[in-house]
A = this chain, B = another copy of it.
Amino acid sequence: MKRTSRDIRTANRYEVLRQIIAESPTSRQELAAATGLSLATVATLVGELLDLRMITEVGFEDSAGGRPRGLVAVNASGGALIGVDIAETYVHVELFDLGLNVLARADEDMRPGESRPEQVVGQVAAAVGSVVAQAGVEAARVLGVGVSVPGQVDRDSGVAEYAPNWDWHDVPFLDLLAEHIAYPLYLDNPLRACAVAELWFGAARGRGDAVVVNLGTGVGAGLALGGGLHRGVSNSAGEWGHTTLVLDGRLCHCGNHGCVETYVGAPGIMQNLRELSPRSPLLHPEDQTATIEALAGALASGDPVALKVVRDTARYLGAGISDLINLLNPELVVLSSWVAARLGEPLLDEVRQAVARHTLRRPLAATEIVLSPIPTDPVSLGAATFALEGALQSVGQRQGAHKGPAKGPAKGPTKVAPKGTTQRTTTLARSRTAPPS
C-alpha cells in the first residue's frame, strides 16, 4: 500500500486537530513541538481548519520577550457530529459538538426478533432525529453521522457484510439509512470505533503503538499503529476474537473451534460461569447484560464464585493479550467496551497477572495495560470520530461521504433533515464555497 502525499496530509490534519481538541488554546509553535511537524506545515493545516471554522483564533499568548504567539482553540459550536452505536441488544446515539462534548443522547432497545435491517434502520433514524431535535442544532451544522455495526463491514460501499449475531449477510446498510437520513454517513464496526476513540480522546492519544481490546458480546482488537488506525487491505483488521486460543476448543459462530471470543466475550464469560457453577444465582440465562452486571456486583462484595469466574476469564484473556503484545510490541493495551467497564479493576488486576506469566520479557517491559479512561460510550464517540475524520478527509475533495443509490433528493417518512436544508452529499468542502445560511 503506497502512502501517498494525500494520505500523509490527511494524517497530519488529524494529528493537528486532535492536538487542538486536547489542548485548547494552543499556539502553532506548541503544535509543531507536540506533533513533530514543521512550523510551516502546521501553519498551513491550521489555516485549513480555520477556513473550515472547526477552530478559531482566540488571542495571543503572553511571551517572555519575542513576538506574541497567536492562539487557536477548537470552535465547539462550529459543527455537530453524530455517533451511532448499534449493538446486539440496543441502539445508542449521541450528538457531539466539535469539542466532542455530548449534547444529546437517545436510546432504543432492540428486542430479540426485531433485528431485521429495516427495523434497525428505523430505530437509528428515529434516534438520530431525536438527538438533533433535543440539541436544537441546525441541520446544516451536522457534519456527518458515523455508524458502528457489529461484524464485518465494507466501509466504502456502506455494506454490513456479515453480522453473525443477527445473521445479516451483505446488507446495504447505509443505502437503507440514506432513505431516512440526509447527512453524510460513515460505516464501520465497534472494534475500530473503540480504537479511534482511544486514539483521538482516550488512553492512546499521543502514545506509541496501542492495541484496544474490545470486550463486549463480540471481541476484537483495534490496532492504533504509527499514530493511525491500522485497517488492513480490506478494512477488516482487528478480528482478534477469532484467534485460535484452544485448538479444537469451544465451537464459535464463525465455524471454528477455540476462538478467543468463545472464552472472553459476554456469552463466553457466561459459559465460564456455567461450567464453574451451573446453578449460580449470578447466571441469568439468555441475558448477557444481567449476568455481567450480577458478576460485577458480586465481585464488589468479594463473592468467591464471581472472583473465580473473573480469574478463569482473565486466564484466557491474558493468554490472548500476551499473543498481541508478543506480536505487536505495543506501548499500551487498553481494555474497552461494556464488559471491561463493568468488570473493571478486578478484571484488570487478573489480566495483568496472567499477561505477566505469558509474555516475553522485552515486550512485557515496554507495555502497560489500562482500562479505557473514556467516561461515556466509546463506540458512539468513535463512530462520531469517523464522521469527523470524514469531514477532514473531504477537504479539497468533492465528495467525502457515502452516497446512496438514489440520485434524487433523499426521501422517506423519518427523513431527518428538512428538505432543501442539507443534501446528503453536502460535504465540508462544498460548504466552504457556499456556506450554509
Interface residues of A (CB under 8 A from B): 1-5, 8, 11, 35-38, 41, 152, 154, 161-162, 207-209, 221, 223, 225-227, 230-240, 242-247, 249, 254, 256, 316, 319-320, 322-324, 326-331, 358, 360-363, 365-367
Contact = CB atoms under 8 A, between A and B. Distances in A.
8 contacts: A2-B36, A2-B227, A209-B232, A223-B328, A232-B329, A244-B245, A247-B316, A324-B327
B5 A327 contact: no
Nearest to A260: B323
Contact of A327 (B41, B227, B238, B256): B238
A327 B243 contact: yes
Contact of A330 (B8, B225, B232, B256): B232
A192 B271 CA distance: 40
B2 A358 contact: no
A243 B324 CA distance: 8
A189 to B, nearest CB: 11
Contact of A36 (B5, B242, B328): B5
A161 B362 contact: yes
Contacts of A161: 361-362
How many chain copies? 2
A164 to B, nearest CB: 10
A159 to B, nearest CB: 11
Nearest to A5: B38
Given A244-B319, A327-B237, A232 B366 contact: yes
Considering residues A8, A11, A208, A236, which has the most beta carbons from chain B within 10 angstroms of its beta carbon?
A236
A152 B360 contact: yes
A2 B233 CA distance: 23
A152 B362 contact: yes
A246 B330 CA distance: 24
Contact of A326 (B38, B242, B360, B367): B242
Contacts of A235: 329
Contacts of A226: 1, 3, 225-226, 230
Nearest to A324: B327
A366 B208 contact: no
A1 B208 contact: yes
Contacts of A324: 327
B329 A231 contact: yes
Contact of A365 (B35, B234, B249, B326): B234
Given A226-B226, A227-B2, A227-B3, A221 B36 contact: no
Nearest to A329: B232
Contacts of A244: 245, 319-320, 322-323, 358
A408 to B, nearest CB: 32
Contact of A243 (B3, B37, B256, B323): B323
Given A1-B227, A5-B38, A244-B358, A366 B236 contact: yes
Given A2-B227, A3-B227, A239-B326, 15 more contacts: A1-B226, A3-B36, A5-B37, A152-B362, A161-B361, A223-B327, A232-B363, A233-B329, A235-B329, A237-B327, A237-B329, A238-B329, A239-B327, A240-B327, A324-B327
Closest 6 A-B residue pairs measured CB to CB?
Answer: A232-B329, A4-B36, A237-B329, A234-B366, A1-B208, A239-B326
